[in-house]
Amino acid sequence: MAQAMFRPRRLREKALLRRLVRETRLSVDDLVYPVFAVHGRGVREPIASMPGQVRMSIDELQKEAKDAAGMGIPALLLFGLPEDKDPRGSEAYAEDGIVQQAVRAVKDTVSDLLVVTDVCLCQYTSHGHCGVVEQGSVRNDATLELLARVAVSHAEAGADMVAPSDMMDGRVGAIREALDEGGFVDTPIMAYSAKYASAFYGPFREAADSTPQFGDRRSYQMDPANGVEAMREIALDLDEGADIIMVKPALPYLDVVSRAKAEFGVPLAAYSVSGEYAMIKAAAQLGWLDEKRVMIEALTAIRRAGADIVITYFAKDAARLLEHGER
Ligand code: PBG
């Protein structure tokens, strides 16, 4: 008897069958929504290169947070724009800094939403770098102390988790130690472990006004050509006490996401960054792509590669679609 032919199409014929054998689920539970807080009241300032995203004053952020929680989104990732910048980024660790105020306000108004804070200096420094600058270069060890202060000040304000994005060596360890000393032993760290020096951050830098005033970030963020090195960065961060690791950007680095999941098997986040969002938005506005389908496909692909958590500016749009079972 002739060998029966295996026909993969049998399982693709009916939508219900496709649902039964689907390997990857994208759920609102996986999503983290990045937001930008600014000083003032009643401010909702559109970000030109990120259509649909705005910089919000704290009163508006409270509404946005309620909205996100109501849609079932588990967490916000909070960025702040300071009143003033200085060489040491002092508003980043000020008790009444924009992020500290925003955390308190959101935690006061919404109970079922995590607030994760981005721990970095670049929005707050006059030179726009993620660390202390001396003689024209970014000083690693002098920066650690400031980053630790930022993280502790966020925890004091009530942050549920801190997320260092600066890429200084040893910062996870320094932050863990400072949190523990401050009595925040239970505050987890989501480390931007494999963060690349990527041009896909362009729109974010407009949003957060954090473009370096000289040079670039290649002396601290990773070379996009390196994959093995990403595993080493992750191993270091885990060693220093990271609870969740992150790969960033997401779509051009899915191989790194996949390797990280296979090698470490720890909770893994992927940050689908501003440029990934902007590309889809721009093509959709031109009528060149079907925005909703491309969005769901991209987010699902990030999950398929191995990410447990997807940080995305599409969080609300995706939550809306997923709620209606549109897949
Ligand atoms: C701050 C930071 C950046 C992003 C997140 N945190 C910008 C950068 O490193 O230049 C980028 C996020 C995005 O593009 O969506 N260090």
Q: Is 251 in the pocket of ligand 1 (CB under 6 A)?
A: no
Pick from 292, 222, 294: nearest CA to 251: 294
pLDDT (tens digit per residue) in 14-25:
999 999 999 999
User: Measured between alpha carbons, how far is 271 from 282 in angstroms, rounded to an integer?
Assistant: 19
pLDDT (tens digit per residue) in 60-97:
999 999 999 999 999 999 999 999 999 999 999 999 99
Answer whether 0.85 is exceeded by the pTM.
Answer: yes
Distance in Å, CA 205 to ligand 1 centroid: 7
CATH fold for domain 26-323: TIM Barrel (3.20.20)
Distance in Å, CA 201 to ligand 1 centroid: 6
Ligand 1 atom with least separation from CA of 204? 14
pLDDT (tens digit per residue) in 202-261:
999 989 989 999 999 999 999 999 999 999 999 999 999 999 999 999 999 999 999 999
Please give the pLDDT value at position 196.
98
Residues involved in catalysis: 195, 248
User: Measured between alpha carbons, how far is 13 from 35 in angstroms, rounded to an integer?
Assistant: 41
Grade residue 36 by pLDDT with cuts at 50, 70 and 90.
Answer: very high
Mutate to test the pocket of ligand 1, among 78, 204, 247, 312 (most ligand atoms within 8 A of CB): 204
Q: Is 122 in the pocket of ligand 1 (CB under 6 A)?
A: yes
CB 272 within 8 A of CB 196: no
Q: Is 220 in the pocket of ligand 1 (CB under 6 A)?
A: no
DSSP string for 134-195: ETTEEEHHHHHHHHHHHHHHHHHHT-SEEEE-S--TTHHHHHHHHHHHTT-TT--BEEEEEE
Q: Is 30 in the pocket of ligand 1 (CB under 6 A)?
A: no
Mutate to test the pocket of ligand 1, among 210, 302, 311 (most ligand atoms within 8 A of CB): 210
Q: Ligand 1 atom 7: the closest Cα is on which residue?
A: 201
Distance in Å, CA 37 to ligand 1 centroid: 15
**So where are the chain's domains?**
26-323
Q: Ligand 1 atom 6: the closest Cα is on which residue?
A: 165
Distance in Å, CA 204 to ligand 1 centroid: 6
Q: How many residues does the chain have?
A: 327
